[in-house]
Amino acid sequence: MAVDSANPQSRKRVRPKRWYAQLWVYVLVAMILGIVLGDFDPSLGVRMQPLGDAFIKLIRMLIAPIIFCTVVHGIARMSDLAQVGRVALKAIIYFEVLTTVALVIGLAAVNIWKPGRGMNVNLAHVDTSAVQTYVAHPETASVTQFLTNIIPNTFVGAFTEGNVLQVLLISVLCAFALTQVGERGKPIVDFIESASQMLFKVVAIVMWAAPIGAFGAIAFTVGKFGAGSLVSLGKLLGGFYVTCLIFVFGVLWPVARWCGFSIFKLIRYIREELLIVFATTSSETVLPQLMTKLEDLGCEESIVGLVIPTGYSFNLDGTCLYLATTTVFLAQATNTPMNLWQQLGLLAVLLLSSKGAAGVAGAAFVVLAATIASTGTIPVASIALVLGIHRLMSEGLTPTNVVGNAVATIVVAKWEHALDEKQLHSVLKGKLEAARP
């Protein structure tokens, strides 16, 4: 799927589409209609939830085979297998640095903003019945469990369970095996390439259902949580959105500038994906399309295939901001004292627990309960305070996750000299578009 920069036939001039013929316009209109419906008829808006859920399921059914085909085909074509380990190491180091920065920014912002100060919440007067599942059985995380869970119970199980890291592990093993088979494995590699092209065509078709999915998801959010949640916890919500913007333009912008591209042009380039994850609050809904667009930018297929799936588990910058902000907010709201050393301990816990939050809608809330339970300081039942606005906060964290992983892929590709920078700038400027088979 990678574009051959030396072959002029692999590119084509972009003819600007009329504004009303672009997918992001349809998604935006659908979101506006969803907001209107959810506001004027909340009960009907809530009943639109299956539309959003159906779209998410459509995309999720394609993620595992797309990752498998992209990774196997990309690695099988690489002449230097040592590059795979090098790319993985560089990506993990980058992810750990950026997620640590995100956690520090989240902790600093919530301590400065203090959205929970003065709330003086007495949990005896709070209805915690809706979160009893999380309180009674909080998810626990350890290094051993996390690493063990990467290994699937069966070969097929990785695909049926939808665990991205399990699929990635199997893909890398199969790719290495094919490189050792040599010429006899070429028909399989060619078949996988054809299957990959077919799957991306399926994604292109499914993406036209995105406006329907966005309409249903946003109508449900507004209808169910609406203005009441915004008023009662507006300071937390507004502060969190500002923190996300600070991270994107205060951290990712300098990183992008250092690598020679504009974060603003990149955001414009992936605006459709950002609108979709904003509406559906699930990063996974755009994973296949994001991989396609990054290859079109000039990143080698093997780099995209390794960095994006790994980043969806290890590089969740927005989720880190959410966990740090919300945890300290709950301590403030319940008058639970947390000194500097306790917050540094919380930072260490979050570095691990944040890796367990996949791109599925609602996963961050489960990890929040696990984090609070593991610290033993903040009452776990206090998460009931943010249950009503969790989905609204997810509308900020998921686009941040997507932008963070897009930047990470370009950075790692540049480090590996696997980035066609001329094509990168041409595509971001709208002058060229990589030809899809």
Query: For the chain, which residues make up each domain, given as ranges?
Result: 17-434
pLDDT of 7 reads 45
Q: Measured between alpha carbons, how far is 127 from 37 in angstroms, rounded to an integer? A: 28
State the DSSP code for 156. T
Q: Of 129 and 267, which is predicted with more confidence?
A: 267
pLDDT higher than 60, residue 109: yes
Asked if 423 and 13 count as a contact pair (C-beta separation under 8 A), the reply is: no
Question: Comparing C-alpha atoms, which of 10, 64, 93, 27 is closest to residue 271?
Answer: 27
Residue 321 pLDDT greater than 50, yes or no: yes
- Give the confidence band of 111 by pLDDT, cuts at 50, 70, 90: very high
Residues 170 and 155 sit within 8 Å (Cβ to Cβ): yes
Q: Would you state the pLDDT for residue 132?
A: 59
**pLDDT above 90: residue 105:** yes
What is the per-residue pLDDT for 266? 95
pLDDT-derived band at 73 (thresholds 50, 70, 90) equals: confident
The residue with greater pLDDT, 315 or 351, is: 315
- The pair of structure tokens assigned to 289 is 């399309």
pLDDT > 70 fraction of the chain, expressed in percent and rounded: 82
pTM of the full structure: 0.80
3 state DSSP class of 334 = coil
Over residues 251-261, the pLDDT tens digits come to 999 999 999 99
Q: Do the Cβ atoms of 375 and 346 come closer than 8 Å?
A: yes
Q: pLDDT (tens digit, 9 = 90+) per residue, 212-266?
A: 988 988 888 788 766 555 555 778 888 999 999 999 999 999 999 999 999 999 9
Which CATH number, 3.30.460.10, 1.10.3720.10, 1.10.3860.10, 1.10.1040.10, labels domain 17-434?
1.10.3860.10
Mean pLDDT, residues 2-21 taken together: 50
Torsion (CA) 144, 145, 149, 153 in degrees, nearest 10: 100
pLDDT of 4 > 50? The answer is no
Asked if pLDDT for residue 3 goes beyond 60, the answer is no
Assigned token pair, 355: 């890796």
Cα–Cα distance for residue pair 133/48, rounded to 1 Å: 25
Distance separating alpha carbons of residues 307 and 394, to the nearest angstrom: 23
Rounded CA-CA distance 270/248 in Å is: 14
Paired with 53 in beta bridges are none
pLDDT of 106 higher than 90: yes
pLDDT at 121 over 80: no
Mean pLDDT of the chain, nearest integer: 81
Q: What is the pLDDT of residues 385-422, one digit of tens each?
A: 787 777 788 888 999 999 999 999 999 999 988 999 99
CA atoms within a 13 Å half-sphere pointing along the CA-CB vector of 155: 5
Alpha-carbon distance of 175 to 286, in angstroms, equals 24
**pLDDT tops 80 at residue 162:** no
Structure tokens at 102: 């995100």
Q: Which of 79-88, 89-98, 412-421 has the weakest average pLDDT?
A: 79-88
Asked if residue 302 lies in contact with residue 430, where contact means CB atoms within 8 angstroms, the answer is no
